[in-house]
Amino acid sequence: MKKIVYLLSLLVLASSTFPQGLPPHVKEGMTYPVFDFDPWVGVMKSKAKALKYDKDLTYKVVIDVVDAPGDSSKIMRQITEIARTYNLNVANGVPKRKLDMAVVVHGGAYNGFLTNEAYQEKYGVPNPNAEAIAILEKEGIEFFICKQSLSFLRIPDEDILKEVDIAVSAKTSLITLDQMGYTYMKVSER
Residues 6+ apart with CB under 8 A from 117: 159
Domain count, the chain: 1
pLDDT band, residue 40 (cuts 50/70/90):
confident
pLDDT band at 20 (very low <50, low <70, confident <90, very high): low
Q: What is the mean pLDDT of residues 157-177?
A: 98
Q: Which residues contact 97 (CB under 8 A, 6 or more apart)?
A: none
Contact 67, 111 (CB under 8 A): no
Tell if the pTM clears 0.95, that is, is over it.
no
pLDDT above 90 covers what percent of the chain? 71
Beta strands in 26-182 (DSSP E): 30-31, 43-44, 59-65, 99-105, 142-146, 164-167
Least confident of 20-34, 112-126, 129-143, 169-183: 20-34
CATH number, residue 80: 3.40.1260.10
Domain that holds residue 152: 2-187
Per-residue pLDDT, 15: 46
